[in-house]
Chain A
Amino acid sequence: MSFILQEIIKIILYGTLVTLFVSVNALFLIWLERRVSARIQLRRGPIHVGWQGSLQTVADAIKLLTKELVLPKESDKFLYMMAPLIVFAPIVAAFLILPLGPHFVMRDLNIGFLFVFSLTNISFIGIFIAGWASNNKYALLGSMRAVAQNISYEIPLLLSTMGVVMAAQTMKMSELVAAQEKTWFIATQPLAFLIFFCASLAEANRAPFDIPEAESELVAGFHTEYSGMRFALFFLGEYTAIFISSAIAATLFLGGWRSPVPGLPAGSLAGPFWLLLKTYGIVFVVMWVRWTFPRLRSDQLMNFAWKVLIPFAILNVFVTALVIQCQKFFA
C-alpha cells in the first residue's frame, strides 16, 4: 500500500517538476529565439524588459493568461477546446524517458525513443483537430498540411534511427547512451544524423518546413482561430517538441549525458548539464536554419521526404547492415 502511495507521490512530484520545466524552458527558448534571430537580422531583439529582455517572455505569458479566450461561433466547440490538451499533454509525458545521467532516468521504457515518436504523433492529431474544429479555411489548410507533413517525415525519422538500433542492439535510452562510451553515433552514422535532423525539423514544423503555419500564406495556420492561453499552449507545445526532438538527437547521436571532452565529470550532477548543453546546441542550429532559408512549397516538401530522405535512409540501413555483418564475419 505504502509502495503505491510512494509511487503516486513520485509521479505527482516528477510530473509537476516536468511541467514546470516545460514552461520555463519554453519561455527561455522563445527568448533565445528572439535574441538569436535578432542577431542574425542586424538588430537587438528584446532588451528592455528585465535584464537583457529576460522578462520579456514572462510578460508575454502573463499577458496571454489574461487575454480573452474567443470561442468561434461556428466551430466544433468541444473539439476546439480539446485540441490544445491533445497537443500539450503527450509532450509532457515524453520527458519520462530522457536519461539525464548514468542512473538518472525517470522511466527507462523498453521501446525507448519510439515512445516519444508515438507521443508526438498524438500531438499531430491534436493539431489536425485544432484546424478542423476551428471551421476556418486557413486553419483547415494548415492542419491538412501538418498531417501530410508529419506522416511523410515520420518514416525517414524512423528509418534513420534504425542504424543506431542495429549498432546498439537496443532501443532503451540508457543503453543507447551506454553504447556510445567509445564513439558517438554521429561519427559512425553521420548520414542518419542528417536525416534525423531534417526530419525532426519537419516534425516540429520549423522553417524551411513550416508550411502548416506558413505566416505569409495561411496567416497563422492551424491556430489562426486560437487566442490567449490556448494559442500559448500550442506555442509551448511547439517549442517543447523542438526541445524534445533535439534532446533525443543528442541522446541518440551525441552521446547523451556524456561529457564531450574525456576526463570531465559526467555524473548525476554534471550529466544533465551536458545533455542540456548539447540539446541547446542543436536547438540553436534549428533556429539558425529557420532564419536563413526560405520556405518549401507543400508538394516540394512531400517530395523531399519521399524522393530524397527516405531513399537515403533506406540506403543507410542497408549499408549499416552490411557493415555490421562484414565486421562480424571478418572478426
Chain B
Amino acid sequence: MSLLHDYSYVLGFLIIGAGFVIVNTLLPLLISPRSRGANAQNPYESGEVPIGGAWVQFDVNYYLFGLIFLAFDVEAAFLFPVLIVFKEFGFAAFYEVTLFLALLSLAILYAWKKGLFSWR
C-alpha cells in the first residue's frame, strides 16, 4: 500500500512534468509568427544540402560500450542489497563482495585486452 502510495506521487509528478512540456510547446503555436522560406524545413547541415540521410548504420564502437555496460549495471544493481546489510555480516561478506568485484574487474580487463578502449 505504502509503495503504491509513493509511486502514485511519481506518476503524478511525471504527468505534471509532461503537462508543463505540452503547454509550453502548444503555446508558441498560438503566439509565434511563421516563416515561409523555401528551405525552412530542410535538415540543417552547415548551410549545405546534406548528402544522404542521417539514418545510417553507425560505428560499432558505441554498441560495444552498450554491451559491457549492460553486464556491469546489472551486477551493480545486485550489489546494492548486499551492501545495505553488509555491516551485519562478518568477514565472510567481505570475501564474497571482494570476489564479486574481482569478477567484475575481469570484465573490464577482458574488454581492455580486446582493444575496446583503443579506437585507432
Given contacts A15-B12, A75-B43, A145-B62, 15 further A-B contacts (CB under 8 A): A19-B20, A67-B32, A73-B41, A90-B14, A107-B10, A109-B6, A134-B43, A138-B45, A140-B56, A144-B58, A148-B66, A154-B73, A155-B73, A162-B80, A225-B44
Listed by A's residue number, 25 A-B pairs whose Cβ atoms lie within 8 Å are: A11-B16, A15-B13, A16-B16, A19-B20, A65-B28, A68-B33, A68-B34, A72-B41, A72-B42, A74-B42, A85-B22, A88-B17, A93-B10, A93-B13, A134-B54, A138-B44, A140-B58, A145-B62, A228-B28, A229-B25, A299-B117, A299-B119, A317-B97, A321-B94, A325-B90
Interface of A is mostly: helix
Q: Does A171 contact B (CB under 8 A)?
A: yes
Residues on B with C-beta less than 8 A from A134 are: 43, 54
Known: A65-B31, A306-B117. A19 touches B73 (CB 8 A): no
Contact with A along B80-93 (1 / 0, CB 8 A): 10011111001101
How many residues from B make CB contacts under 8 Å with A? 69
Residues on B with C-beta less than 8 A from A68 are: 28, 32-35
Contact A229 B41 (CB under 8 A): no
CA distance A151 to B18 in the complex (A): 25
Those of B43-90 within 8 Å (CB) of chain A: 43-46, 50, 53-56, 58, 61-62, 65-66, 69, 72-73, 76, 79-80, 83-87, 90
Contact A18 B108 (CB under 8 A): no
User: Which residue of chain B lies nearest to A136 when distances are taken between CB atoms in the complex?
Assistant: B43
Contact A93 B58 (CB under 8 A): no
CA distance A132 to B56 in the complex (A): 10
User: What residues of chain B have their CB less than 8 Å away from a CB belonging to chain A?
Assistant: 5-6, 8-10, 12-18, 20-22, 24-25, 27-29, 31-35, 40-46, 50, 53-56, 58, 61-62, 65-66, 69, 72-73, 76, 79-80, 83-87, 90-91, 93-94, 97-98, 101, 104-105, 108, 111-112, 116-119
Q: Does A266 contact B (CB under 8 A)?
A: no
User: What residues of chain A have their CB less than 8 Å away from a CB belonging to chain B?
Assistant: 7-8, 11-12, 14-16, 18-19, 65-75, 81, 84-85, 88-93, 95-96, 106-107, 109, 114, 132, 134-140, 144-145, 147-148, 151-152, 154-155, 158-159, 162, 165-166, 169-171, 219, 224-225, 228-230, 232-233, 299, 302-303, 306-307, 310-311, 314, 317-318, 321-322, 324-325, 328-329
CB distance from A248 to the nearest CB of B (A): 15
Which of A81, A317, A328 is in CB contact (< 8 Å) with B90?
A328
Residues on A with C-beta less than 8 A from B29 are: 69
Known: A16-B16, A68-B32, A233-B24. A324 touches B41 (CB 8 A): no
**Residue among A135, A140, A317 with most chain B CB within 10 A:** A317
User: Which residue of chain A lies nearest to B91 when distances are taken between CB atoms in the complex?
Assistant: A325
Contact B83 A74 (CB under 8 A): no
Contact B20 A166 (CB under 8 A): no
Residues on A with C-beta less than 8 A from B61 are: 148
Residues on A with C-beta less than 8 A from B25 are: 69, 81, 84, 229-230, 233
Contact A151 B53 (CB under 8 A): no
Residues on A with C-beta less than 8 A from B85 are: 169
Residues on A with C-beta less than 8 A from B22 are: 85
CA distance A66 to B10 in the complex (A): 31
Known: A66-B31, A73-B42, A229-B28. A329 touches B91 (CB 8 A): yes
